[in-house]
Amino acid sequence: MFQTSEYSGTRREQYEAVLTQLKGLIQGEPSYIANLANASALLGQFLKDVNWVGFYLYDGTELVLGPFQGLPACIRIPLGKGVCGTAAGERRTLVVEDVHAFPGHIACDAASNSEIVVPIIKNSQLIGVLDIDSPLKGRFDDTDREYLEQFVQVLAGELQIAL
Q: What is the pLDDT of residues 34-43, one digit of tens each?
A: 999 999 999 9
pLDDT of 146 strictly over 80: yes
Q: What angle separates helix 11-26 from helix 32-46, to the nearest 10 degrees?
A: 160
Q: To the nearest whole number, what is the mean pLDDT of the chain? A: 92
Q: Return the pLDDT at 160.
A: 74
Q: For residues 64 and 36, is the Cβ–Cβ distance under 8 A?
A: no
CATH of 11-158 among 3.40.50.10860, 1.10.10.10, 3.30.450.40, 3.40.640.10: 3.30.450.40
Confidence of residue 162 (pLDDT cuts 50, 70, 90): low
Cα–Cα distances in angstroms (integers) from residue 96 to residues 37, 53, 132, in the given order:
24, 15, 11
Residue range 47-89, pLDDT digits in tens: 999 999 999 999 999 999 999 999 999 999 999 999 999 999 9
pLDDT value of residue 49: 96
pLDDT above 70 (res 27): yes
> What does the pLDDT read at residue 1?
42
- Over residues 91-111, the mean pLDDT reads 87
**Model confidence band, residue 127 (pLDDT cutoffs 50, 70, 90):** very high
| Contact between 65 and 73 (Cβ < 8 Å) | yes
CA dihedral 125, 158, 149, 4 (to 10 degrees): 140
pLDDT over 70 at 3, yes or no: no
pLDDT for 101 beyond 60? yes
* Strands, sheet with 52-58, edge to edge from the N-terminal-most edge strand: 76-78, 62-70, 52-58, 125-134, 114-122, 94-96
The answer on pLDDT for 105 being more than 90 is no
Q: Tell me what the mean pLDDT of segment 137-158 comes to.
A: 96
Domain ranges of the chain: 11-158
Measured distance CA(65)–CA(139) in Å, rounded: 23
